[in-house]
Each structure stands twice: as structure tokens, then as C-alpha cells.
């Protein structure tokens, strides 16, 4: 498995290089940040300032040279200059990555646990009222746009706060700017209070589709010969479900979860904007709207690494979940 892992990582490197070059070309040609700088300020900047800005962001260099300087710079920890002159892109990227990881990890964990629980329950109670209810909500959450659901949840959060006379549920940011009584416990509950709504928003979209996968997969496994054999051998139902059926049924979910990381990161763009979390999603929006080439590239590179990494993890999980699969 080690050889397989190393081989997969090595194959990923040229994929990353080619994809970043293509994206670099697209980003560089998607607008002119120098013209934007020259026209978006009042009073209009002097010619010296415009020239200095162009030099600062390397807009005076040929595209290929810029790409080469960028990619070699990244290898040395230099992520390139931002249109925001004092911004350290590397520091910004990893600070925001931590924020997004918190959100995405919490959302994925909740979505996975709920998806497995409800998916299995739905499969075991096929065509029951509970199954129909879970199916109904699954499709409802799938159909709802994230931004709309997020706004609705915010209103629900405010309503709960008003009814309880508290301010437990936060609608903006990862934490409050200050606490009246600054204790560790208060800080913990404050962070949890700010995590609830965006996590639910992000989790429910994935939960909806993952529940459907789990249900379908579980139904297929329950109908298989080896499960019937296990039951016929007199094994207890709980043991058959957990050791034999569920383990096999989780294989497709592992694939889907790994592949969905790109969708979840996409969902984080919207969630972070609405809940004003200063994570990777907000970074992409800011970079795109300010034509910040190197900041956009930093986002794309890290996202690509995460997606490739998760795909590799999914492949490796197959072997863990299914003893029949072996990598040479």
C-alpha cells in the first residue's frame, strides 16, 4: 500500500503543475488589476503610484515568467504579492484554512454521523412513515439553495435567541469580539454558539445526499447472499448489521464523501460569506473580485491539494473497509 500511495502522490504532481498553469493563464487574463487600481480610487492615483503598483504585482512581466516565478516561489514559501500591498498571502491562506477546516470538519462529521444513522434506519424501515419522512427531508434539503437555507436558519437562530432572551446563537463571525465575563468556558460556548448555524447549513446539504447513498447501499447489501447466509447461520441481527452489512455499505459512502470535499469547499464559499467567517471561501471571493492573481492561485493550489489528498484517502479506505481490495 505504501508503494501505491507514493505512486499516487507522484502522479499528482504533474497534474497539479498543469492544472495550476492553465488556471494561472485564465486568472491572469480575467481582468486588469492595474486599471482597476488606477480608476477605483478618488483622488485618482498618480502615474508613479500606478507604475509602482504594476511592478509590485509583477504585472509588467510576461505571463510565463510570472508563472515560473510564482511556482518556484511557492516551493520556497513565497506565495507572491497581493494587490493588497501589505497582505502576506501565505499567512492569510493558512490562517483561513484553519477557519475553513473547523467549519468543514464539523459539518462533515455531523453530516456523516446523521447520514449513516438515518440512511441505515431508513433502509431497515423501508417504505415506512419514517422512511418517507427521511426521504422527504432529504430531497427538501437537496433542493434548497444553500444561501436561502442559511438565511432562513439565521432567522431561526435570531428567533430562538429572542425567545430565550439569550444571545447564544451567533450569526456573524467565528466568535464574539468581546465577552462580558472572559472565562475559558464562556469562550468555548461562544465559539460553539457561532459554529451551530453555519455547520448545520453546510452539513444538511451533504447529509441529504449521503443519506440517500447510505440507504441505497444498505438496501443492496441487506439483499445480498452473504448477509442472508450470516442470518441463516444464526448470527445476531445487530452483529450481522454492524460487522457484515454496514461495513460493506459504507464503501460507496467513503467514495462519495471524498469526492464531495470539492462540493463542500464550494458550499463553504457561500456559507462563509453569509455567516461572515473569514475562511478560504471568503478569500476566494475577495481574490476574485479584486483580481488578485496570486491570492486566487494560492486558494486553488491548496484546494487542489486537499481534493487530491481526499481522493487518495478514499482509495486507501477501500482497502480498510473491504478486505478483498489490496493495492500492490
Partner 1 sequence: MRAQSSALARGLTLAAGLTLILAACSSGGSGTPHQGGSAGLASCSTQGKANTCNSGTTKAGGTFTYVLEKNIQQWNVQDTNGNTFENGEALEVVLPQVFVPHPDFTVAVNTDLVTSATQTGASPQTLVYKINPKAAWNDGTPITADDFVYYWRTNDGKDCPPPPASDSTQTKGCLPQSTAGYDRIKSVTGSDGGKTVTVVMNKPFSDWKQLFGAGYPLYPAHVAEKLSGAKAGDAAHMTAAQLTQGWQYFQKTPPTKYATAGPYKMQEWVDNDHATYVPDPKWWGAKKASLQRLIFKVITDATQEPIALRNNEVQGIYPQPEVDLVNQVKDIPGVTYTIGNGLTWEHFDLNLHNPVLGKYTALRQAMFTAISIKDIVAKTVGQFDPAVKQLGNHNFVPGQAGYQDLVTSTGQGSGDLAKAKKLLTDAKFTGVGTALKTPDGKAVGPFNCRYTTGNQIRQSECQILQSDLGNLGVKVTIKPIGAADLGTVLAGHQYDIIVFAWVASPFPSANAQQTWMTGGGGNYGGYSDKQVDQLINQAVGETDQTKSAALLNQADKIMVDAAYVLPLYQKPTFLAAQTRFVNMRNNSTNVGPAYNTGEWGLKK
Binding site for partner 1 (CB under 8 A): 30-33, 35-46, 48-49, 51-53, 55-56, 81, 84-87, 95, 121, 125, 128-130, 133-134, 137, 151-162, 167, 169-173, 176-178, 273-276, 278, 282, 286, 288-291
Grid cell, residue 155, equals 432567522
Which of 139, 164, 278, 149 is CA-nearest to residue 215? Answer: 139
For residue 133, the minimal CB distance to partner 1 (Å) is 5
For residue 39, the minimal CB distance to partner 1 (Å) is 4
| Distance separating alpha carbons of residues 74 and 17, to the nearest angstrom | 12
For residue 46, the minimal CB distance to partner 1 (Å) is 7
Nearer to partner 1, 35 or 259 (CB): 35
174 phi and psi angles, rounded to 5 deg: -90, -20
Sign of the dihedral defined by the CA atoms of residues 9, 12, 14, 16, in that order: negative
Nearer to partner 1, 52 or 304 (CB): 52
For residue 30, the minimal CB distance to partner 1 (Å) is 8
222 phi and psi angles, rounded to 5 deg: -60, -25
Nearer to partner 1, 59 or 249 (CB): 59
Nearer to partner 1, 96 or 308 (CB): 96
Sign of the dihedral defined by the CA atoms of residues 235, 239, 240, 243, in that order: negative
Nearer to partner 1, 19 or 161 (CB): 161
Nearer to partner 1, 68 or 159 (CB): 159
For residue 80, the minimal CB distance to partner 1 (Å) is 12
For residue 59, the minimal CB distance to partner 1 (Å) is 11
Q: Bin 195: left if φ > 0, else alpha if -120 < ψ < 50, else beta.
A: alpha
| Distance separating alpha carbons of residues 249 and 116, to the nearest angstrom | 10
Amino acid at each position: 500500500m505504501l508503494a501505491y500511495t507514493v505512486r499516487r502522490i507522484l502522479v499528482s504532481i504533474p497534474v497539479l503543475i498543469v492544472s495550476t498553469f492553465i488556471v494561472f493563464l485564465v486568472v491572469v487574463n480575467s481582468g486588469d488589476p492595474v486599471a482597476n487600481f488606477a480608476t477605483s480610487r478618488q483622488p485618482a492615483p498618480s502615474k508613479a503610484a500606478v507604475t509602482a503598483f504594476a511592478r509590485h504585482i509583477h504585472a509588467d512581466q510576461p505571463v510565463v515568467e510570472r508563472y515560473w516565478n510564482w511556482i518556484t516561489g511557492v516551493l520556497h514559501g513565497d506565495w507572491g504579492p497581493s494587490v493588497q500591498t501589505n497582505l502576506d498571502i501565505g499567512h492569510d491562506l493558512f490562517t483561513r484554512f484553519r477557519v475553513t477546516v473547523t467549519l468543514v470538519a464539523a459539518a462533515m462529521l455531523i453530516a456523516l454521523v446523521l447520514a449513516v444513522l438515518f440512511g441505515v434506519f431508513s433502509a431497515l424501515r423501508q417504505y415506512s412513515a419514517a422512511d418517507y419522512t427521511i426521504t422527504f427531508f432529504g430531497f427538501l434539503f437537496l433542493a434548497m439553495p444553500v444561501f436561502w437555507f442559511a438565511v432562513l436558519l439565521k432567522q431561526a437562530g435570531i428567533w430562538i435567541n429572542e425567545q430565550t432572551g439569550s444571545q447564544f446563537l451567533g450569526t456573524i463571525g467565528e466568535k464574539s469580539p468581546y465577552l462580558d465575563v472572559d472565562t475559558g468556558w464562556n469562550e468555548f460556548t461562544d465559539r460553539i454558539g457561532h459554529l451551530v448555524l453555519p455547520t448545520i447549513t453546510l452539513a444538511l446539504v451533504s447529509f441529504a445526499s449521503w443519506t440517500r447513498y447510505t440507504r441505497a447501499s444498505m438496501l443492496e447489501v441487506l439483499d445480498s447472499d452473504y448477509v442472508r447466509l450470516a442470518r441463516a447461520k444464526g448470527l445476531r441481527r445487530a452483529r450481522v448489521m454492524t460487522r457484515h452489512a454496514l461495513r460493506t455499505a459504507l464503501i460507496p459512502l467513503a467514495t462519495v464523501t471524498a469526492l464531495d470535499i470539492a462540493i463542500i469547499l464550494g458550499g463553504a464559499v457561500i456559507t462563509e460569506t453569509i455567516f461572515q467567517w473569514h475562511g478560504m471561501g471568503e478569500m476566494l471571493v475577495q481574490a476574485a473580485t479584486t483580481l488578485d492573481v496570486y491570492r486566487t492561485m494560492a486558494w486553488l493550489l491548496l484546494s487542489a491539494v486537499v481534493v487530491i489528498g481526499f481522493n487518495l484517502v478514499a482509495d486507501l479506505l477501500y482497502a480498510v473497509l473491504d478486505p478483498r481490495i489490496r493495492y500492490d
